[in-house]
Amino acid sequence: MAAKLPNIDGLSLTDLNELLARVNRAIQGKKDEARQETLQKLKQLAVAEGFSLDELVGKGQGGRRQRSDKGVKLKAKYVGPNGETYTGRGPTPKWLRTLERKGEKREKFLVK
C-alpha cells in the first residue's frame, strides 16, 4: 500500500457520496490513461513492424471491423412451404412474416 488511507468514519452521508464520486472519477481517469498508454505502445510496435494498427485488428474502410465470415454463403435456417429459404440473418422475409401473422410459429419452419 502506498500511503495510509484517511479515516472516513466521521464523514456525513453527503461527504461520503462526494468522496465516492471523486474516487470513481479518479479510477476512470487512471483506466483511460492506461488504455491510452497501451494503445500508443501498440501503435508504435505496429509501425515498427511495418503495419498499421487498423490493418492488424481487421478494420475495413470507415473504421469498422470487417466480419470474418464476409462473403461466406450461409446455410438456410428456415424453409418455407414453397421451398423459400431464410438464413436467420437480416430482415425477416415477407413469406415468413405473413405466416407468423397468420399464427404460425417460426420454429415450425426450422431446418432439421
Domain definitions of the chain by residue range: 13-63, 78-109
Radius of gyration of the CA atoms of the chain, in A: 27
pTM equals 0.46
Contact 78, 46 (CB under 8 A): no
- What integer is the mean pLDDT of 76-93? 93
Q: Residue 88 corresponds to which cell in the numbers above?
A: 436467420
User: Has residue 92 got a pLDDT over 70?
Assistant: yes
- Distances from the Cα of 62 to the Cα of 10, 47, 52, 54, 111, angstroms: 54, 20, 15, 11, 36
Kindly report, residue by residue over 9-68, the tens digit of the pLDDT: 999 999 999 999 999 999 999 999 999 999 899 889 988 989 887 777 766 556 666 677
